[in-house]
Amino acid sequence: MASFTLHGIPVSRGISIGRAHLLTPAALDVKHYLVPEEQLEKEVQRLQDALAEVHRGLQALWTDLPKDAPTELGAFIDVHALILSDPMISEAPLDIIRTRHYNAEWALVTQIDELSAQFDEIEDEYLRERKADIQQVAERVLKVLMGSAQLAPAPRAAGDEFQPQMIVVAHDISPADMLQFRDRSFIGFVTDVGGQNSHTAIVARSLDIPAAVGMSQASSLIEQDDWVIIDGDAGVVIANPSPLVLEQYRARQAAMLKARKKLLKLKKTPAITRDGTAITLLANIELPDDCPGALESGAEGVGLFRSEFLFMGRSGHMHTLPDEDQQFEQYRKAVVAMKGRPVTIRTLDIGADKPLDPTEHTALNPALGLRAIRYCLAEPQLFLTQLRAILRASAFGKVRILIPMLAHAFEIDQSLAMIEQAKAQLREAGHKYDSAVEVGAMIEIPAAALAVPMFVRRMDFLSIGTNDLIQYTLAIDRVDYEVAHLYNPLHPAILQLIAMTIAAGKKAGIDVAVCGEMAGDTKLTRLLLGMGLREFSMHPAQLLSVKQEILNCDLGTITPHTRKIMRSMEPNAIAEAVAQLQTI
């Protein structure tokens, strides 16, 4: 097939070269993992057993039919039994398990999707309607499979020949779905939709996997098993590359790996500027399992633990959400893993592009609706449960509580009152906690940045969430790829709001961090330092690159240049001056 290039939005740096694996929305509803060679026949047997069980179930239905039952019912069961026996259902998915190493559920859904697409092209309306029967039969089999024992994805040992180089291609992937890819079976992501700072992009960066989003037609143009190159830095995807192009990208990939290994030498070097100013570098994490990676990158603590990822991937019904003990175990695990370093846990930040239950009715504009602290204050029992769990974890190490999306004084006061209530409940129950636990506010709404004195009087620290701050200030939906080009961290209004917040914190003597995506962008490191920022929190993968910038920076030289940038209101002049800062 001829080679072609797609241009989208770069969201995660690096180069990936591998085979395309198309994921339909249906395929995302089941677990998908790769089965090692020696366990393939066991997995084939698992699917065969499920098919046999559904056969027996249909047979029992047929036997139990009342004599006066409509003949259509018997015919309906017959059709389903015939579909189940058809080699396209009974044999083709077994071949997919053997050739692609897919687990049984994924193999079945992949085959059903291919069959469904063929049925869509049939002109005869009656035959076209049989697609629904096929899907119903598949659902029966999936229900049985999901109740059967699943093989755990095998750990990928060093030097293992079975190193799948798989690139996910999908119309869209939710943050919850992204969490399924943490076993590193996949080396890249390509989606039709999404923006530079959608949560899906953020998770891709946290996994340190090259990705490109906003590719428009990628999932319909790229075919299963096509060779694909992702240039994460340029936001370019090349399908079916020529041998020469493949060779060029492999050389670039090798050079990047070499540069990354060189950066590892900075792990134990303190983050101090050339003129002797110490800078705090923290990690953003989604789950406690991210802590070893944070330590490996030399993080001095966790500046943002996005607790909502513990809730995602579950049903949105309250009784299925993690209870106090389950949450406490996860928070404690992170605190212990960080070995005495501070762990800042952000309270539940759901809504917008991170709904608890995607099937529930969504607000007309979820970014402006009941989300983050608004949601927690509207669900006080849910909030108190989380606060108690966080406070209990504070008995095992340094914990800080971070409240997202605050805008009003009464929200701050209510949140602080709820924390006091949670402490009283723990005292009554005899649980230990750190009575001096610090509480901070996310500054991510323009109103909060403009009224920052109201925050410094009430809070112990501040953390600027640049992703939402930019979204709300510029009225840009960061998930919408059609307006993603308008998302600009260097807009003069954004720089003013950040500078204002840093200055207010400094004047009040409280810590101010940036935990949004700007903190991990090396092109902006010197600008933020020049604005007075002394605490950065980012994905562990970005930490050493930012540290390198800090070590090469002299605050005495860059601060006057930054002041000049802050006086400018011309976007082009700002962009040029920021680029120039890199060379000073």
Hey, which residues are catalytic here? 199, 515
Q: Which two tokens stand for residue 68?
A: 């006066």
Q: Which residues contact 181 (CB under 8 A, 6 or more apart)?
A: 168, 189, 207, 209
173 neighbors 199 (Cβ within 8 angstroms): no
CA–CA separation, 58 vs 140, rounded Å?
10
Residue 558 host element (H or E): helix 555-567
What strands, in cross-sheet order, belong to the sheet with 9-12?
4-7, 236-239, 227-231, 15-23, 166-170, 186-191, 211-213, 9-12
Per-residue b/e over 161-178, b at no fewer than 16 CB within 10 Å? eeeeebbbbbbbbbbbbb
Element (DSSP H or E) covering residue 443:
strand 438-443
Stretch (H or E) spanning 556: helix 555-567
Amino acid at 241: P
- Our CA dihedral for 209, 213, 216, 217, rounded to 10 degrees, sits at 0
Structure tokens at 186: 């996949």
> Could you say which DSSP state residue 265 is in?
G
Cβ neighbours of residue 48 closer than 8 Å, sequence gap 6 or more: 94
DSSP assignment string, 64-129: T--TTS-HHHHHHHHHHHHHHHSHHHHTHHHHHHHHH-B-HHHHHHHHHHHHHHHHHT---HHHHH
Chain centroid to CA 569: 34
Q: How far, in Å, CA of 237 to CA of 17, rounded?
A: 10
What residues contact 215, with CB distance under 8 A and at least 6 apart?
6, 7, 8, 190, 191, 192, 237
Residue 33 contacts residue 183 (beta carbons within 8 Å) = yes
What is the distance between the alpha carbons of residues 360 and 370, in angstroms, rounded to a whole number? 13
Q: Is 36 exposed, middle or buried (0-12, 13-18, 19+ CB in 10 A)?
A: middle
Specify which residues 230 forms β-bridges with.
16, 237
CA terminus-to-terminus distance, the chain:
48
Residue 312 corresponds to which tokens in the numbers above? 């995602």
Phi then psi for residue 102, to 5 deg, are -70, 150
- How many Cβ atoms are within 10 Å of 275's Cβ, its own excluded? 11
